């Protein structure tokens, strides 16, 4: 009996002993909440981050009295085990850290129990950390918007079989990646890889494989996808639960794969933009797809007419982009049945006929309508437009008549572009009542004065009324447009002086001021001065301005382009022009870009944590003015022809055109210190003196025109050092001396660059240089000329000199021995 009773006591004792040991163990680790090895790993990770931003964002890590890392920001622990299960370091600006190579990042590798890891939007560099293979519990891996490089390890994903979400977009990966390496990731639901056209090649076909997963989101954009076969990934034939597909900006050939829509009955978003699709758009679908709200097949080679059934096939579309294809025929009125459509882009096609009135009135939710660059004609529907319209593009068509009054009812309208049509009549007064951000009416046949109601548009940033028949004076009340950044009034019939714009000056928001090709008179106003602190483009050419070039122009510190050509300006060129900082433009944000957000970017999934549902996939952004819709455009004569600079290139263009005036005096040598200027035209004036030697400092210049003046002297030889010069002319001056050496860019200039000067010599001119015109050392005396005078003079002096020298030698020979004898 004693043995029987002793055994249970021994078991109980052991159980109490083990329980005590567990409590001691838990106390040693659990006293801090999280595990000490993981806490130490986080601290090492923090120590590796560069810059103050990373430290301030992670201030709770190890700071103060809180030592429980489970309570630190961006860290989530498992409630039961206290192991770190979720780490989110997105948007910390802790880039330029080498996750794979830094010793300090070994702490990161200790977090082997992670289920969610988000390192997005930091700029991390280097290869992917090799220890990622140890995170076998990982369900979410978010690495987008960094600078990871090298190859994506082919053995990484087969090990991480718990993965449900993978995002590798916007990095610098290279090499090749086989999508078949994901074949056995049976839980995978989201895969995103936007390559940004880098060196990464993605192959979805070899070796043959069959997926075990059913994706909900598949995004493979701007990659070298199936470089040899150029086929749509065949594994998609086995996918039936997709909610969003993005294959945009790849080189895929073939017809539109409508089977993607047929197979995935709950598909919400399909982006096939710019993948070289051909053929017609066929909608042989068995039933409507009520879930589809996003369809983008823009920038392909799709032909034929737009099916009228598109509205019944996808009745709930909010975004439809068919732009930049080869659609033809009329726009089907049935598009007006898309009652929830928010954005419609049919631009850059061959649509013809009139615009259906039902499209304008039926789409009650339409806020963005772009019909640019088609062959639409007639009048814009006169009926009332919907109140939700914010952006309307009708440019580059054949619309005629007056601007329809129905647009007036679009109280939310921000951007209106009617340019390059056949609209006529007066610009209506009611346009000034709209709260417009941008108004473009250029290249029409509008006439009469600018309505005074324009002066109420204090939200207006962009105003382009160019190339019409507008007349009268430039309204002084434009001074009220304190938000105006771009003003284009060129190629009209405006007369009189430029009015004073004190409020516009004080607001200093103006970037472009273009009033060329009018009939404006008087002096260039002095209010164009340093107060225009953001002015980059000043275009006053082809008017009747007179007087001196005002010195205030030298105070335009950010100016890039100045055109004062074809006026009646006189006097000297101000030497203070050297003070304008043509190169400072690079130190600022692009001033020619719109400030508002883009319209509808096909965004990343909203699935960043497991609290969210995978079926939430909304496009990022909303209706607004995109960079592609809003690009400042400037015409400037350079390289002897009119060039149009638009978009990003405009930021880096710089030039000065003072041609066709009555300017006098020498060319200031200070102009040669504008080292970043790309174009300089001083032709057709009355300038005198030499070409400054300092012009050899114009290292970036591409076009230099000094023709039709009265310049004299030699062309500076060092101009051959201008390696970007492609147009050069000094024709019709009074230049002399040898032409510059035929090397570098000067080897490309022919005799037309020097014609009209009677004295220059050397290649490529027919006139050869004489000895006196050489630029080598001064000529030596010539002994070839021996006339009779020279001979007489020579003989009359030679013999007496010879006799005296002979006697002197005899005396020296006699005297020297006698003198030596006396000394001895």
For residues 601 and 622, give the distance between their C-alpha atoms in angstroms, rounded to a whole number: 8
Lowest mean pLDDT among 57-66, 351-360, 683-692, 800-809: 800-809
pLDDT band, residue 593 (cuts 50/70/90): low
**pLDDT tens readout for residues 134-143:** 999 999 999 9
Query: Using CA atoms, how far apart are residues 564 and 621, in angstroms rounded to an integer?
Result: 42
Which 3-state string (H, E, C) describes 573-592?
CCHHHHHCCCCHHHHCCCCC
Q: How many CB atoms lie within 10 A of CB 141?
A: 22
Give yes or no for residue 550 having a pLDDT over 70. yes
Torsion of CA 719, 725, 727, 732, to 10 degrees: -10
Whether the per-residue pLDDT at 86 is higher than 90: the answer is: yes
Domain at 654-776: CATH architecture: Alpha-Beta Horseshoe (3.80)
Q: Is the pLDDT of residue 623 over 50?
A: no
Mean pLDDT over residues 609-617, rounded? 34
Write out the two tokens for 165: 């979400």
Per-residue model confidence (pLDDT) at position 9: 47
- Alpha-carbon distances, residue 71 vs 33, 140, 173, 236 (angstroms): 8, 21, 35, 43
Residue 417: beta bridge partners? 393, 440
Q: Is 578 exposed, middle or buried (0-12, 13-18, 19+ CB in 10 A)?
A: middle
The CB density around residue 450, as the number of other CB atoms within 10 Å, is 24
Q: What is the pLDDT of residue 773?
A: 61
The pLDDT of residue 740: 94
CB distance 433 to 459 below 8 Å: no
CA distance 793 to 153: 99
Which token pair is 216?
């909900």
Closest CA to 636 of 587, 594, 576, 680: 680
Q: Cα separations (Å) of 265 from 244, 248, 315, 451? A: 11, 21, 14, 54
CA 600 to CA 80: how far, in whole Å?
Answer: 42
CATH 3.40.50.2000 fits domain 38-150: no
| Residue 787: predicted pLDDT | 40
CB 67 within 8 A of CB 40: no
* pLDDT at residue 99, rounded to an integer: 59
pLDDT at 821: 40
DSSP 130-196: GGGGG-TT--EEE--SSEEEEPPPTTTTTT-TT--EEE--SSEE-EEEEGGGGTT-TT--EEEEE-T
- Owner of token pair 């510190």: 557
Instruction: Name the range with the highest mean pLDDT among 372-386, 396-410, 578-592, 691-705.
Output: 691-705
Residue with tokens 């324009």: 454
Which of 1-15, 65-79, 273-287 is predicted least confidently? 1-15
Mean residue pLDDT across the chain: 83
Two domains, one topology: 38-150 and 654-776 = yes
Using a 10 angstrom Cβ sphere, with 0-12 exposed, 13-18 middle and 19 or more buried, the burial of residue 31 is: exposed
Higher pLDDT, 263 or 790: 263
Alpha-carbon distance of 82 to 345, in angstroms, equals: 52
Domain positions in the chain are 38-150, 654-776
The candidate with the shortest Cα–Cα distance to 360, out of 387, 388, 386, 340, is 386
Structure token pair of residue 69: 């890392």
Measured between alpha carbons, how far is residue 429 from residues 393, 433, 434, 515 in Å?
A: 20, 8, 10, 22
Averaged pLDDT, 492-500: 95
Q: Are 554 and 530 in contact (CB under 8 A)?
A: no
- Which of 144-153, 463-472, 575-584, 612-621 has the lowest average pLDDT? 612-621
- Res. 165: pLDDT tops 90: yes
* Rounded distance between C-alpha atoms, residue 489 and residue 624, angstroms: 25
Read off the pLDDT band of 608 (50, 70, 90): very low
Residue 22 scores a pLDDT above 60:
no
* pTM for the full predicted model: 0.83
CA dihedral 38, 40, 42, 46 (to 10 degrees): -170
Considering the chain, what percentage of its residues have pLDDT values greater than 90? Answer: 56
Most distant CA pair in the chain: distance in Å?
163
Q: Are strands 759-761 and 438-440 parallel, antiparallel or unpaired?
A: unpaired
Of 543 and 224, more confident: 543
Check if the beta carbon of residue 680 is closer than 8 Å to that of residue 655.
yes
| Least reliable range by pLDDT among 65-74, 257-266, 670-679 | 65-74
Give mean pLDDT, residues 610-630.
Answer: 42
Q: Please, which pLDDT band fits residue 796 given cuts at 50, 70 and 90?
A: very low
Q: What is the pLDDT of residues 407-449, one digit of tens each?
A: 877 888 999 999 999 999 999 988 888 889 999 999 999 999 9
The pLDDT of residue 28: 43
How confident is the model over 614-638, as a mean pLDDT? 56
Poorest-confidence range of 22-31, 314-323, 352-361, 612-621?
612-621
Contact 444, 423 (CB under 8 A): yes
Per-residue pLDDT band at 96 (split at 50, 70, 90): low
Phi-psi region of 603 (alpha: psi -120 to 50; beta: other; left: phi over 0): beta
Q: Which residues fall within 8 angstroms of residue 583, CB to CB, at 6 or more apart?
A: 654, 675, 676
CB 430 within 8 A of CB 405: yes
For the chain, give me the number of helices (H) and strands (E)?
8, 51
Report the pLDDT value the prediction gives residue 524, as an integer from 0 to 100. 95
Residue 376 is predicted with a pLDDT of: 97
Q: What is the pLDDT of residues 657-695, one digit of tens each?
A: 999 999 999 999 999 999 999 999 999 999 999 999 999
Mapped onto helix, strand or coil, the DSSP state of residue 698 is: coil
Give the model's pLDDT for residue 583.
53
304-328 pLDDT, tens per residue?
A: 999 999 999 999 999 999 999 999 9
- Listed in order, strand segments (DSSP E) in 269-318 are 269-271, 278-280, 294-296, 301-305
- Taking the alpha carbons at both ends of the chain, their separation in whole angstroms is 154
**pLDDT, mean of residues 328-341:** 95
3 state SS for 32-93: CCCCHHHHHHHHHHHHCCCHHHHHHHCCCCCCCCCCCHHHCCCEEECCCCCCEEEEECCCCC
297: nearest Cα among 266, 274, 313, 331: 274
DSSP character at residue 293: -
Residue 193: beta bridge partners? 220
Please give the average per-residue pLDDT across 214-223, as a whole number. Answer: 95
pLDDT attached to residue 522? 96
pLDDT band at residue 570 using 50, 70 and 90 as cut-offs? very high
Distance of CA 542 to the CA centre of its chain: 31
Confidence of residue 605 (pLDDT cuts 50, 70, 90): very low
Instruction: Name the nearest CA neighbour of 224 among 182, 156, 275.
Output: 275
CB 458 within 8 A of CB 484: no
**Greater model confidence, 145 or 53:** 145
Q: What is the pLDDT of residues 723-734, one digit of tens each?
A: 999 999 999 999
CA pair distance 197, 166, nearest whole angstrom: 19
Confidence of residue 63 (pLDDT cuts 50, 70, 90): low
d(CA 624, CA 596): 6
How many C-beta atoms lie closer than 10 Å to residue 693's C-beta? 13
Which spans in 665-774 are helix H?
Answer: none
> Cis omega before residue 310 (within 30°)?
no
Share of the chain above pLDDT 70, in %: 80
If you average pLDDT over residues 49-73, what whole number do you get?
72
pLDDT at 136: 95
- In eight-state DSSP terms, residue 731 is -
Cα 427 to Cα 402, 472, 548, 651: the distances in Å are 8, 13, 36, 32
**Run of H or E residues at 791:** helix 788-823
**Residue 585 · residue 651 · CB < 8 Å:** yes
Q: Which two tokens stand for residue 325?
A: 């294809």
Cβ pair 110, 40 in contact under 8 A: yes
- Residues 615 and 243: their CA atoms lie apart, in Å, by 7
- Which of 53-57, 534-538, 597-601 shows the lowest mean pLDDT across its residues? 597-601
DSSP structure class, residue 813: H
Helix (H, G, I), strand (E, B) or coil at 621: coil
């Amino acid at each position: 009996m004693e043995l029987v009773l002793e055994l249970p006591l021994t078991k109980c004792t052991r159980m109490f002993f083990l329980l005590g040991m567990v409590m001691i163990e838990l106390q040693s680790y659990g006293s801090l909440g999280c595990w000490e090895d993981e806490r130490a790993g986080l601290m090492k990770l923090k120590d590796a981050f560069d810059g103050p931003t990373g430290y301030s964002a992670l201030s709770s890590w190890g700071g103060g009295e809180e030592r429980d890392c489970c309570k630190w920001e961006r860290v989530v622990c498992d409630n039961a085990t206290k192991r770190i299960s979720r780490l989110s370091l997105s948007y910390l600006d802790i880039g330029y850290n080498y996750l794979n190579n830094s010793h300090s990042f070994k702490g990161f590798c200790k977090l082997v129990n992670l289920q969610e890891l988000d390192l997005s939007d930091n700029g991390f560099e280097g290869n992917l950390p090799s220890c990622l293979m140890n995170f076998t519990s990982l369900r979410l891996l978010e690495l987008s918007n960094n600078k990871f490089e090298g190859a994506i390890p082919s053995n990484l994903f087969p090990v991480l079989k718990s993965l449900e979400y993978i995002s590798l977009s916007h990095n610098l990966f290279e090499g090749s990646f086989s999508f078949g390496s994901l074949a056995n990731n049976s839980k995978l639901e989201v895969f995103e890889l936007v390559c940004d056209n880098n060196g990464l090649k993605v192959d979805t076909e070899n070796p043959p494989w069959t997926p075990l997963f059913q994706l909900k989101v598949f995004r493979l954009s701007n990659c070298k996808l199936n470089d040899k076969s150029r086929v749509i990934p065949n594994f998609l034939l086995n996918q039936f639960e997709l909610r969003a597909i993005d294959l945009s900006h790849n080189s895929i050939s073939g017809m539109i794969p409508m089977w993607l829509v047929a197979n995935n009955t709950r598909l919400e978003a399909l982006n096939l933009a710019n993948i070289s699709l051909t053929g017609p758009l066929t909608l042989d679908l068995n039933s409507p797809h009520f879930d589809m709200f996003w369809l983008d097949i823009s920038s392909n080679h799709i032909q034929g007419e737009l099916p009228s059934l598109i509205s019944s096939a996808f009745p709930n579309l909010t975004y439809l982009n068919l732009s930049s294809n080869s659609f033809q025929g009329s726009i089907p009125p049935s598009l007006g049945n898309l009652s929830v459509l928010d954005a419609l882009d049919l631009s850059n096609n061959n649509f013809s006929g009139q615009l259906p009135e039902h499209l304008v009135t039926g789409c009650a939710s339409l806020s963005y309508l772009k019909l640019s660059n088609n062959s639409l004609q007639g009048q814009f529907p006169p009926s009332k437009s919907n109140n939700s319209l914010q952006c309307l593009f009708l440019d580059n068509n054949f619309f005629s008549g007056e601007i329809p009054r129905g647009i007036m009812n679009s109280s939310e309208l921000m951007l209106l572009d009617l340019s390059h049509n056949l609209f006529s009549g007066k610009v209506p007064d009611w346009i000034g009542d709209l709260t417009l951000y941008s108004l473009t009416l250029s290249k029409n046949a509008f006439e009469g004065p600018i309505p005074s109601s324009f002066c109420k548009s204090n939200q207006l940033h962009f105003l382009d009324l160019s190339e019409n028949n507008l007349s009268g004076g430039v309204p002084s009340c434009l001074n009220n447009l304190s938000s105006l950044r771009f003003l284009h009034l060129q190629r009209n019939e405006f007369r009189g002086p430029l009015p004073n714009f004190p409020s516009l000056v004080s607001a200093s928001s103006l970037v472009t001021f273009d009033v060329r090709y009018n009939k404006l008179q008087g002096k260039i106003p002095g209010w164009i001065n340093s107060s225009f602190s953001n002015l980059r483009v000043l275009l006053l050419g082809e008017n009747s301005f007179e007087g001196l070039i005002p010195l205030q122009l030298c105070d335009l510190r950010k100016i890039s382009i100045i055109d004062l050509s074809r006026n009646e300006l006189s006097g000297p060129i101000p030497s203070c022009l050297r003070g304008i900082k043509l190169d400072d433009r690079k130190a600022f944000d692009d001033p020619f870009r719109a400030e508002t957000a883009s319209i509808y970017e096909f965004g990343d999934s909203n699935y960043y944590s497991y609290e969210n549902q995978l079926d939430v996939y909304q496009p990022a952004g909303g209706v607004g003015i995109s960079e592609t819709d809003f690009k400042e455009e400037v015409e400037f004569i350079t390289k002897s022809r009119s060039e149009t600079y638009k978009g990003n290139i405009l930021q880096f263009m710089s030039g000065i055109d003072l041609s066709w005036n009555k300017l006098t005096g020498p060319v200031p040598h200070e102009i040669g210190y504008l080292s970043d200027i790309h174009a300089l035209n001083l032709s057709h004036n009355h300038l005198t003196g030499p070409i400054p030697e300092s012009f050899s400092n114009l290292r970036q210049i591409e076009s230099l025109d000094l023709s039709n003046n009265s310049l004299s002297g030699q062309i500076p030889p060092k101009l051959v050092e201008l390696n970007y010069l492609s147009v050069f002319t000094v024709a019709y001056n009074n230049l002399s001396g040898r032409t510059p050496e035929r090397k570098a860019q000067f080897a490309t200039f022919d005799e037309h660059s020097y014609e009209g000067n009677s004295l220059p010599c050397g290649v490529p001119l027919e006139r050869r240089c004489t000895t006196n015109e050489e630029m080598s050392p001064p000529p030596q005396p010539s002994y070839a000329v021996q006339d009779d005078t020279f001979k007489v003079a020579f003989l009359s002096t030679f013999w007496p000199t010879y006799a005296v020298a002979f006697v002197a030698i005899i005396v020296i020979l006699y005297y020297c021995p006698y003198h030596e004898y006396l000394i001895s």
